[in-house]
Structures are given as structure tokens and as C-alpha cells.
Structure 1
Amino acid sequence: MKDKKEITDNAHGHQFKEAGWGYRHQQCIILFWVLTIAYSMRSCMGVSLVAMTDYNGKEENTTGLELNNTADFKPEGVLNALMLIPPYPTFNWNKKVQDTVIASFFWGYMLLQIPAGQLAHRFGARYLLTGAMTINCVVSILLPMATYYGGWYCTVVCRVAQGLSQACIVPGLHTSLGKWAPLHERGRLAAFVYGGQALGTVFGLPMTGFISASPMGWPGIFRFYGIMSGMMAFLIWFLVSDTPAKHPKISAAEKDYIEDDLGASEGKKKMPVPWMKILKHKGVYAIIVAHIGQTWGQLTLYSEVPAFMDKIMGVNIKANGLLTALPFLVMWFSNFFFSWFTDWLIVKNIMNVTNTRKFANSLGTIPAAIGLIALAYAPQDIYVVETILVLTCAFKISAHCGFQVNHIDISPNYAGTMMSLSNFISNIGSSISPIIIGFILTDVGDKYLWRQVFFLAAGFYLVTNLVYVIFGTSEKADWNDLPEEEKEDVEENVPMMEKAKQ
């Protein structure tokens, strides 16, 4: 197959180049910024709490949770009462309250994962993503006032609401990619969109610190992300379409190129989710297992390594913005190489799709496992440790072109549903990992116990990847499409004007 396949656009009389710019790229750019903003908002709470709290160890109530430390805060005028101008209140929340506020986001996030996949399948990604970003907008803007006037209880309610809305984002993105990402560009388009996870973290940490230190203060953090979410909701509503067939400006050639590759057609009705067939498919279980390993390893890298750097290496990596952001920034750049490389392997017929996904997943997991083991034996040298982290993150992103794209290969029509299922199960695994790590790490100053933590994460990477390599597949499932007789029934019910458009 040629890299630049040309298709004649009969409706417009010009040539459509597969390698050229198209509306599918516009869709992916918007989806990328949706995920970037969502991950920035998700990661901002830890830094925000530093500016929001001033725990003095007093005013503890009978539940062991801290009361608001707002006695010294007296609003001066309406603007100050609305927390639009300084000074701003701080709160006497102990570590238990702060951890509860951070964890509350994931309560909502896990609760709505599987229903979100169903919503995306039934109503389409455009409605779902617009609603998710709109809710994020409203809740974020109201959170500062809710925190001051309602205490930490209202903060938890707001974070749960944000988690519920953001649970819709990944299934919505995957549903959209299932309709817009043709096979030979799937790795690049999907990896570009999911690169927002890395870039969101890179932007989120320094941006949160900058805003909290400005005259906008900690309330400005949530208002900033609220406004950004509102802008994205506006762009999604007016620029994103659920399918190429519904896009008002797409050329007939680009529409045919995408739909012919995906096996999609405008006349299809909304099919019920074939849950029994999905749950019997071995490839789905291979994806779920790989997803569990990735999530566990990711939590160890992002949450436990900073504590290891502090307690064992004597370096507080969170205190150095460059050290914190560099691995994520390198991850984002290497994302472009791996996505291009895996698509190139498919286009040039060097590997079939199944083997390419397994190869990409192995590139993302095996070096990450080696990196964790190397970290366990690394000397007390920040340059050595940072180099290990950078190399680990640089390869880790390759898994986005492995298991994370695999849902779309198996079933473009049910990609969002399958992603919500694997994301839900993998997040259950990640929610219990801190408990297991807590049992192992009885002394945070013991480097031998830290080695056990890193060996466990490395083992998860290697074993789950092995399962994926053995059982994974990229063959399109026969239950992805309607049976031929049902297709004919649907076509008969398509209005004449709609047929004319086709």
C-alpha cells in the first residue's frame, strides 16, 4: 500500500490524499485538548491543597477530621466574599481530610465507568463529552465558594461530581476514535489523543503552582480549569461530530476513506451491546489484563517513586519542577515516534496488526519493568535516578499503541464500551495497590522493602504483558457489525433523502 493513497472525490471534483490534513485530524486535536485539560484538572488537587490548607494540629472534632480554619477570615465586600480578590481563607485540614479530598475524585470516576461506555454507545461521544466538560466547568467554578461556605464535605461532593463527569471522557474518546480512526492511521491518531495524559501532567503541576502564587490565589486554580472546560465544551458542541457521516463539512472522499476502512455506514441503527459475546472474547480479557499491569505500574511510578526519592535518595523530586516534568515531557515527545513507527510497520506490511500491537505493548512494558528494577539498585545520585525515570517513561508510552488501541481493532462500534470495562477493572486493581504496598512498606526508610515494591510492579508489567502477547488479537470481531439481513432491513427504512446523500 502506498503511503499517500489518492481517492477521487466525485462530489467535489478534487483529489483526497490519505496522508494530508482532514477533518479526522481536527477531531483528534480537540479530543487531545479535552484529555489534556481533564488530566491537568485531575492532578491539580494535590498542589492546590498546599495553598488551601494550614494545618496547625488543633480543632480536631470527634470524628478525627479537621474543622475549617476560617475564624480569621472576614470577607471584605462582595468580591472578597465571592473569593474573587484576596485575601483568601485557608483551612485547618489534617492529612486524613486531605487524602479524603484527593481520593473522592476516584470514587465518582470508578462508579460511572461502565455506564459511561453505554452512554457513549447510545448517545454518541459529542453529547457525552460536551456534558462532561460542562459539568466540570460549573463544578470547578463553584468549588471555592462551596469549600468556604460548606467545608470539606462540600469539597468532597464537588470532587465526586468531577470524577463522575470525567468518567465519561475516556469512553467518549474511544467511541469517537472508533468512528474516526482508520486502521493505517489508528496508532498515530489514538496515541496523539492519549498523549494528553502526559502533557496534562506537565502543564498541570507548574500551572497550578503559578496560579496559586498569583493574586488569583487558590480559588483561581479551579476557576481557570472551569473556564478551560467551558471553552472545550463549546468547541466540542460546534466542531465535533459523532461520525464522519454526520460532519457537515467533510468531503465525500475522506468520509468514504474512513468508513470503508472501518466498515461503517450511515444507515446503521444503534445496535444493542452484545455483552455476552464481548465477555466471551479472549482478546478482551487480554486487554483487561494488560490494562491492569499498566495501571499498577503507572501508580507505582507516579505515586510511590516520589516518596522513594525523598526517603531513600534524599531528594524531594516534587520540590523541583524540572525533575517532576521532564519524564512526562520526554514521554509526550516519544509518543510521536512510537505512534508513527507502529503505523509504519502496518502500512509497510512488516508486521500484521496483531503482532504490531503485541510488539508495541512489549516495548512499553519490558523496559519499564527493567527501569523499576534498576531504580531499586540505583546509587544515591539524582542524575542516575532521573535518567532511569526518563528512559522508563520514554518507552512506557509505547503501550498506548498496544493494548490501548486494541479495543478499536476488535470492534470500532463498541470500542468505548470495551474501554469503559477495562478501565473500570484496572482502576479497581489500582485502588487496592496502595493497601498492598502499605503492607509491604512497613518502614519507608528501608531500601530492601522498597525493592520488593518495585519488584512487584515490575512483575505485574512482565506477567500481564506475557498474557497479552499470548492471548491478544486484533482481528475484527464478527459481532461488530449487524448481520447482512438486518443491514438490508435498516437500509429499507432509511429515508429517500438520506439515501440520496449517500
Structure 2
Amino acid sequence: MLTGWRLALSKLFFIPQRYVFAIMALLAIANAYTMRVCLNMAITQMVRKTTAVEGDPHYDPNACPDPSTETVVSGNTTADTYLQSEAILFEWSEATQGLLLSAFYYGYVLTHIPGGMLAERYGGKWVLGLGLLSTAVCTFVTPVVTKMGGAPALFALRVIEGFGEGPTMPALMSMVSRWAPKNERARIGSIVFGGAQIGNIAGTFFSGIVLSDGVWDNVFYLFGGLGLIWFALWIVLCYSTPNTHPYISDKEKKYLNENVASLISTAEHELDPVPWKALLRSVPLWALIIAGVGHDWGYFTMVTDLPKYMTDVLKFNIKAAGVLSSVPYIAMWIAAFFFGLLCDFCVKRGYHSILNARKIYTTIAATGPGICMIMASYSGCDTTLAVFWFVAAMTLMGAYYSGMKINALDITPNYAGTTTAMVNGIAAISAIITPYLIGLLTPQSTLVQWRIAFWVCLAVLVITNIIYIIWAQGEAQWWDDVKKYGYPPNWKHGPLPTKKKDSEAPTSESKEKEKY
């Protein structure tokens, strides 16, 4: 029962604590993404620009007209040239820029699985909080480090940032699995994961505004500072589980303990250690991982390189590029809520099963954006039409959050942190490959070169989606709770080891049964 100050604090919240958590989790992802993507915008202003003229070997006769070359400030100096002359700029090739944009994910993929395991053992609050704190600190010191050490120093710092942020998504998923009732899962998932779009919107929009004054340093100070503020609020407001929350209402705690699968399983019996052999042999889990690879390929093609496409190909100035690059993410955010509500409604009414929901929305989110990106590349220099297709692409990608993005909660509510770590960690390899590959495919950043990159993206999205449709599952797998579901008839390696209470002395017979 709540008493004293805890009762008083619980009455301060006019919304349930699970939605307080959802909002703070949304802001967590938003901060993570702003700090992750601000370099995508800033790098367009950190590199000295050169324009090939007719007669140069890299001259593109089909290049879009650059309005900035017609705006003279004094003499022959354009506005962009003037602003660039006031900042410290670097001579980085397209391939080097691609490598720097992918550096974050070298560290990111390595700490996913350890982060998921730590979250399941010690709770997600501190794993998530400290991870984002380290990212905020690294973001804040980026200008100083880059000016001192150039590309190698920036690469190393971004890898360290990735190390810190790698555990955050598995830790967050572990917490979602303990705060989201099954019949509210898509809704809460849409709120939480909508933070990615908030981050992309804020990251691109405000980066464009801040960068328009010609000083790229301020972008990193802005978003690093916001990350530090979020951490202070997080440690006060959020807790790993409802049962460790000091001022959740008794009514809500009772409701969650009766309707959240992972809390029910924990109450009924102690869970086994992570069943690694079963996870690694689970076909539905590998189908989910492959779908994640496709999603990340398309998503990071847009997130990482859309600002470069708008500035290098469509010739938007940085302020316009920031504003227009944010519009697709606004559309994706709104669409994520719409698809989440639609999914919950259809499942409750029995119009389709959870499994079919995951397949339907994943297919919408994979094939639709791929086709739209191709259409954008064939829009030529029609900037209005190109932006329309990019907006349409990200709108359809919003369906992912009702599809494969929450599928880990379906197949394993008890090990959601570890499985999410596997999915996100392996899928994030796409984020390592795509920026560097696009840098190689677009050495002069021409429209034709970018079109090839978009065709590659469509192929990856379609192939991975087909694999997911064939082998995906929508129900908890047997290895999620062996005591409840038992072992499948074809399981050849014997029972998985379980933890024993201190009062239970293992017998020779029990030892024999626990062998693989």
C-alpha cells in the first residue's frame, strides 16, 4: 500500500505511470536520435565545397541548378561561401564522409547484447540512463575533439558514442516488456518508438536553423545539452518495473501484474537463464533479424543520407534542407500512431491475427518506401515532386512500429531485452554498410549515382521482407518459458539448465536431467 509522500506523489500524475514511462521513453529515443543524426546535417557544412565547371572530368551536365551561385553578397562571394569562410572546414572525400557517418554503428552493434543481458539482470533504468548520458557527453565535446584531431579523432569519438548508446534500445525494450499490457502493446510501442521520428524531426529541423549561421559547433552543444537534461529527469521519474516504482498507484500496479506477460511469468516461477542455444536455432527470431536488416537499410539510407541528397543533388541551402528533411519524419511519426491504433483495433475485432498484423504492416513499411525512393530519384530536379515521394516513403515506413518492430514482444516477452539486442545489433550492421556504400556509389554525388543507390535499397527491402513473411511468428515461442510450454518433440539436446533455490540441493538425478 502507498503511504505518506508516496501517495502524495502518485496523485501528482494525472496519467498512469505506464504512460509517464512511455513519454520519457519517447524522449529517450528522441534524444538518442538527435545526438546520432546531428552529424548527418552538420557534415554538409563541415566540409569545404567545390563545384565542378564545364570541362572538368567530374562535371555533371544534368546537375540541378544551384540558387546560391546566383546570390551575391559582395563582389563575387556568395552567401554560402561567406559563411563557410567563417568556419573551420575539412577536406574530406565522399568515402571519408560515409565512413564518419557509419562510425557510430561500429560501437553500437558491439554493446547491444551485453546491454540486453544487463538490463534483464539489473533492470533497464540505469543501463538506458547511463548509456544515453555517455552519448550526451560525447556529443557535447565533438567540436573540440574534431578540431584537435580531424577525421581520425571524430571517427574514434563516434565509435565511443555508439558503445554508450548500444545498450539503450535493448534496455528500453526490456522495460517495455514489463510496462506494456498485451492489449496496449501496439499503442505504447507507437508512443515509445515514435521518439525516433521526434528525434529525426528535431535533429534535422533545428540543425538546419542552427547551421544557417555558419557555425557547425553549436549543433553538438545544443543536442548534447538536451541529453544531459533528459538524464536528470529520467532518474527521478522512471523505474525498471512497476513493482520497483515507489509511487505508482496500487490500482495500476495490480492491473499491470495481472496483464503483463513477463510480470505474470516472474510471479509464477523463476525464469531460466537466457536459452542461447534455443535462440540461435529459432527460425522466427532469425526471420525477425533479417527483417530488421532490411528495415535498417532503408531507414538509415534516409536518415543518414537524405540531408546530403537534398544539399548535393537538389541544391537546397542548409536551412531549407533542415526544414524539408524533417517533414518526412513528421509524416512517419503521425503514421506510426495511425497504424498502431488501426492494428490494435483490427486485432481486438478479430479482423486479423497478431501474426498477420506483423506481416501486413512490415510489408507496407518495406515495399512502399523502397518504391517511393525510386520515384523520387526519377523526379529529376523537380524538388517539389522529389520531396513528396520522400514524405510518402517515410509515411509508409511508419507501419514498421506495428509490424516487426514489436514482434520481439510477441515471440518472447520474457527475453525481450536480449532478443531485441540481437535484432537491433545485427540489423545495425546495415547502418555501417549503407553510408560507406553510398559514399562509394556516389563519388561525385550525381543524380544518376544516387539512383543506383536507391535501387540497391529497394532490392534489400523486398528480399528481406519476403523472408520475414515466410517464417515470422506472432506467438510466444516455447523457449520463452519452458516450464509453461515444455520442450518440442524434436529438441535433441535435453532440458535447458534452470536456477535452483538455495534450499534445493541438486541430486545426481537432477544433474543428469540438466545436461544438454
Q: Which has the higher contact order (CA 8 A, sep 6+)?
A: 2
The alpha-carbon deviation at position 299 of structure 1 amounts to 3.1
CA distances 1:163-215 after superposition (whole Å, capped 9, x unpaired): 11111111111111111111111111112111111121111123234445679
Alignment of 1:181-200 (within 5 A): 181-200=180-199
Quick one: which amino acid aligns to residue 45 of structure 1? L
The alpha-carbon deviation at position 108 of structure 1 amounts to 1.4
Q: Give yes or no for contact 1:55–1:91 (8 Å, CA) kept in 2.
A: no
Number of positions where the alignment pairs a residue of Structure 1 with one of Structure 2: 445
Residue 36 (structure 2) pairs with residue 38 (structure 1): no
Alignment of 1:85-100 (within 5 A): 90=88, 92-95=90-93, 99-100=98-99
The alpha-carbon deviation at position 106 of structure 1 amounts to 2.0
Among 11, 20, 28, the residue aligned to 1:26: 20
The alpha-carbon deviation at position 469 of structure 1 amounts to 1.7
Q: Give yes or no for contact 2:294–2:460 (8 Å, CA) kept in 1.
A: yes
Are residues 30 and 471 of structure 1, via their aligned partners in 2, closer, same or farther at CA, if it must alter by over 3 Å? same
The alpha-carbon deviation at position 463 of structure 1 amounts to 2.4
Alignment of 1:197-346 (within 5 A): 197-212=196-211, 218-263=216-261, 264-265=263-264, 267=267, 269=270, 271-303=272-304, 314-316=314-316, 319-346=320-347
Q: Give yes or no for contact 1:54–1:90 (8 Å, CA) kept in 2.
A: no
Partner of 1:462: 462
The alpha-carbon deviation at position 481 of structure 1 amounts to 2.8
The alpha-carbon deviation at position 243 of structure 1 amounts to 1.2
Q: Give yes or no for contact 1:180–1:243 (8 Å, CA) kept in 2.
A: yes
Are residues 446 and 104 of structure 1, via their aligned partners in 2, closer, same or farther at CA, if it must alter by over 3 Å? closer
Unmatched tracts of structure 2, length 5 or more: 3-13, 51-85, 487-496, 505-516
Partner of 2:157: 158
The alpha-carbon deviation at position 242 of structure 1 amounts to 1.1
The alpha-carbon deviation at position 343 of structure 1 amounts to 1.0
Quick one: which amino acid aligns to residue 46 of structure 1? N
Quick one: which amino acid aligns to residue 470 of structure 1? I
Alignment of 1:119-198 (within 5 A): 119-149=118-148, 152-198=151-197
Aligned equivalents of 2:217, 2:450: Cα separation in 1:
37
Q: Give yes or no for contact 1:51–1:90 (8 Å, CA) kept in 2.
A: no
- 1:320 aligns to what SS in structure 2? helix
The alpha-carbon deviation at position 153 of structure 1 amounts to 4.5
Q: Give yes or no for contact 1:327–1:390 (8 Å, CA) kept in 2.
A: yes
Q: Give yes or no for contact 2:311–2:321 (8 Å, CA) kept in 1.
A: no
Are residues 390 and 126 of structure 1, via their aligned partners in 2, closer, same or farther at CA, if it must alter by over 3 Å? same
Are residues 100 and 432 of structure 1, via their aligned partners in 2, closer, same or farther at CA, if it must alter by over 3 Å? closer
The alpha-carbon deviation at position 337 of structure 1 amounts to 0.7
Q: Give yes or no for contact 2:44–2:308 (8 Å, CA) kept in 1.
A: no
CA distances 1:8-62 after superposition (whole Å, capped 9, x unpaired): x9xxxxxxxxxx9411111010010011011111111233345656689xxxxxx
Q: Give yes or no for contact 2:205–2:323 (8 Å, CA) kept in 1.
A: no
Quick one: which amino acid aligns to residue 201 of structure 1? N
Instruction: Using structure 1 for the length normalisation, give the TM-score.
Output: 0.78
The alpha-carbon deviation at position 131 of structure 1 amounts to 1.0
Q: Give yes or no for contact 2:125–2:235 (8 Å, CA) kept in 1.
A: yes
- 1:111 aligns to what SS in structure 2? coil
Q: Give yes or no for contact 1:182–1:258 (8 Å, CA) kept in 2.
A: yes
Are residues 143 and 212 of structure 1, via their aligned partners in 2, closer, same or farther at CA, if it must alter by over 3 Å? same
Q: Give yes or no for contact 2:182–2:259 (8 Å, CA) kept in 1.
A: yes
Q: Give yes or no for contact 2:291–2:465 (8 Å, CA) kept in 1.
A: yes
Aligned equivalents of 1:48, 1:384: Cα separation in 2:
25
Q: Give yes or no for contact 2:210–2:218 (8 Å, CA) kept in 1.
A: yes
Partner of 2:473: 473
Aligned equivalents of 1:144, 1:440: Cα separation in 2:
29
Q: What is the percent sequence identity of the aligned residues?
A: 26
Are residues 302 and 53 of structure 1, via their aligned partners in 2, closer, same or farther at CA, if it must alter by over 3 Å? closer
Of 272-281 and 292-301, the range deviating more from structure 2: 292-301
CA distances 1:389-431 after superposition (whole Å, capped 9, x unpaired): 2122111110111001000111112112111111122222343
Partner of 2:41: 47
Aligned equivalents of 1:243, 1:169: Cα separation in 2:
16
Aligned equivalents of 2:17, 2:378: Cα separation in 1:
49
